[in-house]
Structure 1
């Protein structure tokens, strides 16, 4: 499992460069969260939902724009700005 933000950023970049292993590692990294979320659904639908969500995670990581991701302080500024609007 990933332990650092830099590892995650690197993994996303590799996945976007069509590195199949990086995509699979990304999915495996978030699989525990995915599975725990699926416990809120009916047992009969879990397998299908897991497959659909896995595909969605793969699509999202491959299309994610790292350049549009704010840094910590930019993020805080965005939150503060929304509070005052």
Structure 2
């Protein structure tokens, strides 16, 4: 009986450690030079900028970690 519990626990630990991450689109467009990155954003023509298992930094830590969200930033550079 003890072996059954041990093997079941080992199996559950192995299954639970499998995880997947989110995918993010990463691109930069300056003055419209990257049309795939512009609005309106259509993900059906942007396979080249899709990053699977998106990684990002965390405040106060070194290295990259699996991302928990994606951000879209849009701005205007005024001289």
Q: TM-score range by the shorter chain?
A: under 0.3
Structure with bigger helix share is: 1
Q: Could you state the TM-score of these two structures normalised by the residue count of structure 2?
A: 0.27
TM-score (ref. length: structure 1): 0.26
Highest Rg: 1 or 2?
2
